[in-house]
Amino acid sequence: MRNYFSLFAKNQSLIYKVFLFFFATFLVIYFLPKGGQFKYNFQKGKPWQYENLYAPFSFTIKKAEDSLKKEKEAIRANAIPYFEYNSKVEQNVIEDFKEELALRYVDSLHKTPKNKIEHIGVRFISQIYKNGVTDEIFNYEGNRLIYLKNGNEIEEQNYSQLFKKEKLNNSVRQLVEKNNTEDSQALLYNILNDVLQSNVKLNSKLTEAAIESEIKALNPNRGIIEKGGRVIAKGEVVEGEKFQILNSLKAEFESQIWSKNNYLWLLVGYTILVSLVFLMLFLFLKKYRPYIYNNNTKVTFIFFNIFLMVFLTTLVLKVHSDYVYIVPICILPLILKAFFDPRVGLFVHVLTILLLGFLVPNSFEYMFLQFIAGIVTILTVSELYKRVNLFISVGQITLIYIIGYFAFFVIQEGNVQALEWQSFQYFILCGLATLFAHPLIYFYEKIFGLVSDVSLLELSDTNSKLLKELSNKAPGTFHHSLNVANLAEASANEIGANSMLVRVGALYHDIGKMLNPTMFTENQANSINSHNELDPQESAKIIIDHVIKGIEIARKNNLPDRVIDFIRTHHGTSLVYYFYKKEKELHGEANIEDFTYPGPIPFSKETAILMMADSVEAASKSLKEPSSTIIDEFVEKIINNQMAQGQFLNADITFKEIETIKKVLKKKLNNIFHLRVEYPE
């Protein structure tokens, strides 16, 4: 059992990557469309680019969405409404009428006898309540058929047969004229207006249920294509009926393939394709970016961003396929470039687009535009910490989208008359969404503990707490670090390396010296050297330990790992030669391991640049009468010696780049040590 635990502990990083591989594959497959892939890509209004297509099997032609929508609207418009009839209201109204008449009738004011008015009113009430009274107003025509539900019985009648209270005035006038009782018109109207109540109300639930039942019974098909029948000929424009027939064939094809019998095989196919994409990503990281591959947090970060793009695209496609270009896919290479490098950003972008090709309609057009936009993102976005650069790059990306989409449309249509200018709004919205990169980078830094150029800009502030402490405790080291930062930044700019990263690394690379500053010559204010009283081996240990102590201070102050890498590697595995030679002179022999820095050697262009700049700047202080020739030979000697020791073997830096760095260092040192004109006192 102990052996299993030991094996697990040794291989936990690999086990985690295997788990991440299968988990990511499962998630992506879950979001893929649950159906077989139709063999042909087509668009409405575009010519059919394949050979003549014949029906591989018999299938029904589905009605177009617009056609079905119109039929449903027609059903709603022509549906017969149900009204609920309340038979108890009539008797209550008659009783109320008699009571009100008894209270309001005055013999001296009316010629018509009370009993006659009562008879007329009761008969009128009975007559109008026979078909029903309503106070609701509907936009129905008078001959519109309605259903009147009285208990369990349902009767048909016209909407005009219902009595509306708004017609009461005219009805009373006609009633008194017919009975020659004009003197009682006002009395009758006032009483009837007060006592009449609605006994017919619309039954919305029953009406809606009837409509839904009719809609469900609607036939979604409008014909059939027999097996072997021609669906579309080559060059025909895909529109109208042809477009609907192709959509019907596609739906039937995908539903037939995604059956219980074929489910497993389709799943196997999807699994292989998605697995290949993630396998390529792992192989790329392992071979070309081992520092990322060996860091599970960074690997998880990359996979999270891929999954996020797949998830957002799936979400948008569920709303409407036209909105697919709103998803800011270019934010992926932009962010990965900010945290890693352009090559990683572009490679991951390409793999993500391959996955999205399974999801989106018109996949070739989509993938082409996204590939081009991703390349433009990598080429244009630089120095992301400068906000204006992001705006400029987003503008360029949006322009590329618009130009690419326009070109595709012209190729497919042959003209611009049918161009939908609204489509360009989606690309503008995509560009605006890409501006969300800045807050997203901040969020990722806090969650995943990564560092971007934006954070590096903050760290380069010499008024920060740690650099202030360095300047107070070890002013000579601080001044040395500033000089190294300037040399390293200029060199990085010349060969296209990350100048901001190397500058920050240079500012912090010697922070370990502030724990024991007087043991380093740049901080010794007088000619007294503390190492004169120490054994060479002791002195070498103090010098070497500034690297270890620097790492400890950096971790205590939460400096990012990318900055700590400069502290670890700025001396590589070089030898503290002065004390090594002194030890040999005193004792005749010396253990070289006691005088060697623990490493590792630089593993990037930036860390290699710092090693060169640091060594050259520190050693330049020993030049007594520097001239241009002496400085040139001096720089060549130091860097060639580092190359001979193999310090740059893992740094991914070329001989040409090293020669360029030499030229920059020579030029900068010549400017620093140039001769000044002596002015008379």
Mean pLDDT, residues 148-176 taken together: 83
Q: What pLDDT, in 10s, does the model give residues 642-667?
A: 999 999 998 889 999 999 999 999 99
Q: What pLDDT, in 10s, does the model give residues 204-214?
A: 888 888 888 88
Question: Of all residues in the chain, what percent carry a pLDDT higher than 70?
Answer: 93
**Residue 675 pLDDT greater than 60, yes or no:** no
Report the distance separating Cα 306 and Cα 551, nearest Å: 33
Task: Give 176: exposed, middle or buried? Use CB within 10 Å, 0-12, 13-18, 19+.
Answer: buried
Question: Do residues 442 and 387 make contact, with C-beta atoms less than 8 angstroms apart?
Answer: no
Residue 679's pLDDT band, with cuts at 50, 70 and 90, is: very low
Angle at Cα 531 formed by Cα 527 and Cα 537, nearest 5°?
160
Report the distance separating Cα 483 and Cα 617, nearest Å: 7
Q: What is the residue whose two structure tokens read 């690999």?
A: 14
Domains and CATH numbers, the chain: 2-35+263-448 (no CATH), 76-214 (no CATH), 453-672 (1.10.3210)
Q: What pLDDT, in 10s, does the model give residues 412-433?
A: 666 777 677 777 888 999 988 8
pLDDT score recorded for residue 483: 92
Question: Do residues 93 and 195 make contact, with C-beta atoms less than 8 angstroms apart?
Answer: yes
Mean pLDDT, residues 622-630 taken together: 80
CA distances to 133, 139, 161, 172 from 167, rounded to whole Å, are: 11, 16, 12, 9
pLDDT score recorded for residue 370: 94
Mean pLDDT, residues 5-27 taken together: 84
Mean pLDDT, residues 115-123 taken together: 85
Find the range with the poorest average confidence among 3-12, 83-92, 558-567, 662-671.
Answer: 3-12
Cα–Cα nearest to 335, from 296, 374, 368, 372: 374
Q: What are phi and psi of 383, to 5 degrees?
A: 50, 65
Question: Of all residues in the chain, what percent carry a pLDDT higher than 90?
Answer: 28
Report the distance separating Cα 604 and Cα 494, nearest Å: 16
**Residue 382 pLDDT greater than 90, yes or no:** no
**Residue 676 pLDDT greater than 50, yes or no:** no
Q: Residue 645: helix, strand or coil by DSSP? A: coil
Q: Is the peptide bond before 600 cis (omega within 30 degrees of 0)?
A: yes
Q: Residue 268: helix, strand or coil by DSSP? A: helix
Question: Do residues 509 and 610 make contact, with C-beta atoms less than 8 angstroms apart?
Answer: yes
Q: What is the residue whose two structure tokens read 């020579």?
A: 666
Report the distance separating Cα 359 and Cα 311, nearest Å: 11
CA distances to 1, 16, 18, 19, 389 from 6, rounded to whole Å, are: 9, 15, 18, 19, 50
Cα–Cα nearest to 461, from 475, 471, 448, 474: 471
3-state secondary structure 325-386: HHCCCCHHHHHHHHHCCHHHHHHHHHHHHHHHCCCCCCHHHHHHHHHHHHHHHHHHCCCCCC
3-state secondary structure 385-427: CCHHHHHHHHHHHHHHHHHHHHHHHHHHHCCCCCCCCCHHHHH
Angle at Cα 602 formed by Cα 600 and Cα 607, nearest 5°?
130
Instruction: Please give the sequence-ordered ranges of beta strands (E in DSSP) within 116-273, or none if there are none.
Output: 133-134, 145-150, 153-158, 163-164, 200-202, 221-225, 230-232
Adjacent-strand bridge partners of 155 = 148
Determine how β-strand 53-54 pairs with β-strand 163-164: unpaired
Task: Give 528: exposed, middle or buried? Use CB within 10 Å, 0-12, 13-18, 19+.
Answer: exposed
Q: Encoding tokens for residue 163?
A: 């009595």
**Highest mean predicted confidence (pLDDT) among 7-21, 183-197, 296-310, 627-641:** 296-310
Describe the strand order of the beta sheet including 200-202 as a list of residue ranges: 153-158, 145-150, 82-85, 200-202
Angle at Cα 93 formed by Cα 89 and Cα 94, nearest 5°?
120
Report the distance separating Cα 254 and Cα 375, nearest Å: 34
Residue 383's pLDDT band, with cuts at 50, 70 and 90, is: low
pLDDT score recorded for residue 255: 67
Question: Do residues 269 and 80 make contact, with C-beta atoms less than 8 angstroms apart?
Answer: no
Q: Residue 261: helix, strand or coil by DSSP? A: coil
**Residue 283 pLDDT greater than 90, yes or no:** yes
pLDDT score recorded for residue 258: 55
Q: Residue 218: helix, strand or coil by DSSP? A: coil
Mean pLDDT, residues 568-590 taken together: 83
Question: Do residues 334 and 381 make contact, with C-beta atoms less than 8 angstroms apart?
Answer: yes
Q: Which H or E run contains 45?
A: none
- Longest Cα pair distance anywhere in the chain, in angstroms? 149
Q: How many CB atoms lie within 10 A of CB 268?
A: 10
pLDDT score recorded for residue 629: 85
The alpha carbon torsion through 659, 663, 666, 668 (nearest 10 deg) reads -130
Q: What is the mean pLDDT of the chain?
A: 84
**Residue 256 pLDDT greater than 70, yes or no:** no
DSSP-assigned states of every residue in 484-546 = HHHHHHHHHHHHT--HHHHHHHHHHTTGGGGGSGGGSGGG--SS--GGGGS-HHHHHHHHHHH
